Amino acid sequence: MSERIDHMTYLPGMEQIQPDIMEQVLARMDAYDCGRYTAADVEAALKHDVCTPEDFAALLSPAAFPFLEEMAQKARQETRKHFGNSIYLFTPLYLANYCENYCIYCGFNSHNHIHRARLSSEEMEREMKTIAATGLEEILLLTGESPKMSDVAYIGEACKIARKYFKVIGLEVYPMNSEDYAYLHECGADFVTVFQETYDTETYEKLHLGGHKRIFPYRFNAQERALMGGIRGVGFAALLGLNDFRKDAYATGMHAWLLQRKYPHAEIAFSCPRLRPIINNDKINPRDVHELQLLQVITAYRLFMPFASITISSRECARFRNHVIEIAATKISAGVDVGIGGHSGEAKGDEQFEIDDGRTVDEIYQMILSEGLQPVMSDYIYV
């Protein structure tokens, strides 16, 4: 077997930017010792009006776990202060599941023998019409990471079609250069989300065995390149369970915090996914992250960055999702189908992972109302 490419070295054609934020995040994460924090540190953090990085580190520590109720109460106050009772709805649309990466935890990985497919322009439009008919006004467009099968022009065409039906368009596709993000912004894209998966570079190397995704710094700097390309909002996430979840959550928060300090106009969002079962997966033993630990992460994100949007995925069960929108989450997916072409009832390709909450848009909408909250399809208007 030939020697694998160095996961920390850029490949030809990859745009390089200053590594200052990455270096700071990795240094802070490596120095993070969650065991050194005490109950007094947590109590002090909860008393502060502004949550510092050191407070954030304390709130993620095991010492904070007995204070989860206090964290939740304060997180609820911060959420209502900055977002009112609004809960935003969206759904993901998977355009294609072709992938050129070999990530051992992902159902789309190039070594997995699944049914591959991609939507034509006509099929995209049919899917989007079906989704728009539910009342949703925000969509998240996703592809597998294959610039060959889902090139920038293909994704741009999807954005142009989506602009006819939706007021807000998010992208969760492979990282690209700032000029590509600028083109997609012209086509209608508003947001870009990139999961770093894990911020631990050694674990990252072991999990990503081939493809462009193997290059850690290029993925890390994707959000900054998106902002350089004019995208107005960027999302961050670690896939909790791939590594030490506290370190990954800490690094995720610091990545977002440092980037917002550099780009104060940027709209920041967090996703909080846990590793889910996938097709043909026998190569990874997930480090379990329990629901209460996930809640600790979500409330810590809210207290650290009170203005940030927080999305709760359909990977989680209905009971947990109902609960967390009362506390800290501000965005929830509805009517989810993670296969290719499933919204219009003509599925073409296999799913990336298993979802837990399969409720329709109307069911989610009514649930939000029943919790005394206000479902919002979109609050953004182009003029």
pLDDT at 380: 74
Distance (Å, rounded) from C-alpha 309 to C-alpha 314?
A: 16
pLDDT confidence of 189, banded at 50, 70, 90? Answer: very high
Task: Indicate the pTM of the whole model.
Answer: 0.94
CA distances from 245 to 62, 188, 234, 269, 281 (A): 12, 34, 21, 18, 20
Q: Is the pLDDT of residue 78 over 80?
A: yes
- Give the H/E segment covering residue 267: strand 267-271
pLDDT confidence of 345, banded at 50, 70, 90? Answer: low
Q: To the nearest whole percent, how much of the chain has pLDDT over 90? A: 80
What length is written for the chain? 383
pLDDT confidence of 115, banded at 50, 70, 90? Answer: confident
pLDDT at 344: 73
Look up tokens 């462009």; give the residue.
Answer: 212
Distance (Å, rounded) from C-alpha 130 to C-alpha 107?
A: 26
Q: Is 36 exposed, middle or buried (0-12, 13-18, 19+ CB in 10 A)?
A: exposed
DSSP state of 319: H
CB 132 within 8 A of CB 162: no
CB 298 within 8 A of CB 328: yes
Distance (Å, rounded) from C-alpha 59 to C-alpha 213?
A: 31
CB 319 within 8 A of CB 325: no
Distance (Å, rounded) from C-alpha 110 to C-alpha 91?
A: 25
Q: Is the pLDDT of residue 280 over 50?
A: no
Contacts for 257 with CB less than 8 Å, ≥ 6 apart: 53, 56, 304, 305
Q: Is the dihedral of CA 356, 380, 176, 128 positive or negative?
A: positive
Contacts for 99 with CB less than 8 Å, ≥ 6 apart: 106, 108, 109, 110, 144, 145, 146, 211
| Closest listed residue to residue 114, CA positions, set 380, 347, 375, 324 | 347
Amino acid at 99: C
CB 80 within 8 A of CB 316: no
pLDDT at 337: 85
CA atoms within a 13 Å half-sphere pointing along the CA-CB vector of 268:
24
pLDDT confidence of 223, banded at 50, 70, 90? Answer: very high
DSSP strand pairing (208-210 vs 102-103)? antiparallel
pLDDT confidence of 218, banded at 50, 70, 90? Answer: very high
User: What are the structural domains of the chain?
Assistant: 20-376 (3.20.20.70)
Distance (Å, rounded) from C-alpha 93 to C-alpha 98?
A: 14
pLDDT at 276: 62
